[in-house]
Amino acid sequence: MSNKVLAPPKAHAPVLPPALKLPADPATLAHRQLRDGLFWQRLQAYAEVPESDFLDHRWQAKNSITNVPRLLAALQGLVDASFVHDAEEGFRHAPMPVRVSPYLLSLIDWSRPYEDPLRIQFIPLASRRLPDHPKVDLDPLHERQDMPVPGLSHRYPDKVLFLPLDTCPVYCRFCTRSYAVGLDTEEVTKLQFGVDVERWRLAFEYVASRPEVEDILISGGDVSQLRDEQVTYIGEAFLAIPHVRRIRWATKMLAVMPQKLLSDTAWVDALTRIADRGRQLHKEVVVHTHFNHPDEITAITQAATNKLFDRGITVRNQTVLIRGVNDTPAVMGVLVKRLSFVNVHPYYIYVHDMVKGVEDLRTTVESGARLEKQIRGLTAGYNTPATVVDTPGGGKRDVHSWEYYDRETGISVYSSPVVHPGQLFCYFDPIHLLPPSGQARWADPSQHDRMIAQALEEARSRR
């Protein structure tokens, strides 16, 4: 037997099977890199604002900018005079009034105001304005046609949309309900859905009389503008109806004023009590919110979503596909991952509704379909949003499910077998994104009805 001492084996780098991936470089995980610190103090207007004030929803609401002169004054020193004039003229023709929170204003990169994705969403510029498509509508989803009582829309068999109020913490340029939300503008006289308990009772009575209604979407406006006792009143009224199984509270507050969840204890407690009561009744009570870009999600956002998570409240997100904001796989991919990181489920991506006054923001059905393919597989399926077209009058349809789509004219045709059996509904791509031949046809009004008739006939022939 040999007494030779064996040398220890040499260290070698582990050989990984070809199918295994190396760990990601942490620097590439951009969705985890949340803006933190006193970032608002970069703006001269908020340079002396302490954290205690900035994180208070009352300070945010009190200092929100609600008229054009005040907004332009806040931008002095940040942008040049030509931008100020551009914005002033932009608001003059906008369907939505001005309302911007200090938090939102501080997230905009004012070194590049024309390109910043948050500025694009909230501050219109006359230089970017494009003519409306001939088929856009102030009520692009035709919600008013499905209102049995004021402020309650019943389109889908088992779901109603309840609008208890018509105000928001900020006003988005692209608001689907620009026919009702906010104050009148030079362009639009609003249909009023203000807080009115008698009107609410009509809605409760209607839902109670319809045993097929199981799902309530409470929107507006924005439910964060309701007082805590109003949240309790509305929530208890719907939970008391035996056949109601699901309640969704819709708010953009998480994206534009998350301080509400951090400092309005009474409001959060009211929402929590309704969610807890729903759980006792085996009914689902959740929050639906609205983020469109990764820059809207900060460490403050995460603190707010953590508070809801701690209380067992599910949060889902609905994103609008906006040109120049989130219409690339890179940006949408970071948004989806960042939402998931802060415990918000990405739920829908809407191809931009056909809203008046924001043609520069709309994209094509083809771009929505392409984007959906490019982001699928990025993360778990339950955190992968469905991309949909909310057809005027026909409701939400999967973006890929058209019966016919003419890329030249930009007309896509969808059916809605459950909502309106046998009917067809059209969506229209922005004219300026069509090929020259399609733009020429839309330039001739005598061609409009002919193009639509041809598209509908093609759709019927393929069914």
Q: Which of 213, 274, 287, 273 is nearest to 244 (CA)?
A: 213
Q: What is the pLDDT along the chain (463 residues), one digit of tens a residue?
A: 555 555 566 666 666 676 677 888 888 899 999 999 999 999 989 999 999 999 999 999 999 998 888 888 888 889 998 998 999 899 888 877 888 999 999 999 999 999 999 999 999 999 999 999 999 876 777 777 888 999 999 999 999 999 999 888 888 888 876 665 655 455 555 356 678 899 999 999 999 999 999 999 999 889 999 999 999 999 999 999 999 999 999 999 999 999 999 999 999 999 999 999 999 999 999 999 999 999 999 999 999 999 999 999 999 999 999 999 999 999 999 999 999 999 999 999 999 999 888 999 999 999 999 999 999 999 999 999 999 999 988 889 999 999 999 999 999 999 999 989 999 999 999 999 999 999 999 999 999 999 999 999 999 999 8
- How many other CB atoms are found less than 10 A from the CB of residue 461? 9
118-121's contacts with Cβ under 8 Å and 24+ in sequence apart are 118/293, 118/295, 118/296, 120/322, 120/324, 120/325, 120/361, 121/172, 121/173, 121/174, 121/292, 121/293, 121/322, 121/325, 121/361
| Runs of H (alpha helix) within 93-147 | 102-107, 117-122
Task: Based on DSSP, count helices (H) and strands (E) in the chain, helices before strands.
Answer: 16, 12
CA dist., res. 366 & res. 153, Å (int): 29
pLDDT in tens, 367-404: 999 999 999 999 999 999 999 999 988 889 999 999 99
Q: How many CA atoms lie within 13 A of 317 on its CB side?
A: 32
Distance CA 401, CA 372 (A): 13
Which pLDDT score, from 0 to 100, does residue 102 have? 96
Measure the CA–CA gap between 73 and 45, rounded to whole angstroms: 9
- With 0-12 CB in 10 A as exposed, 13-18 as middle and 19+ as buried, what is 286? middle
At 190 the pLDDT is 39
Helix (H, G, I), strand (E, B) or coil at 163: coil
Q: How many Å apart are CA 232 and CA 238, to the nearest integer?
A: 10
Whole-number Å distance between alpha carbons of 326 and 334: 10
Q: Which residues of 158-192 are buried (b: 16+ CB within 10 A; e: fewer)?
A: ebbbbbbbbbbbbbbbbbbbbbbbbeebeebebee
What the chain holds in terms of domains, given with CATH numbers, is 52-128 (no CATH), 143-395 (3.20.20.70), 402-463 (no CATH)
For the segment 190-225, what is each residue's pLDDT rounded down to a tens digit? 356 678 899 999 999 999 999 999 999 999 889 999
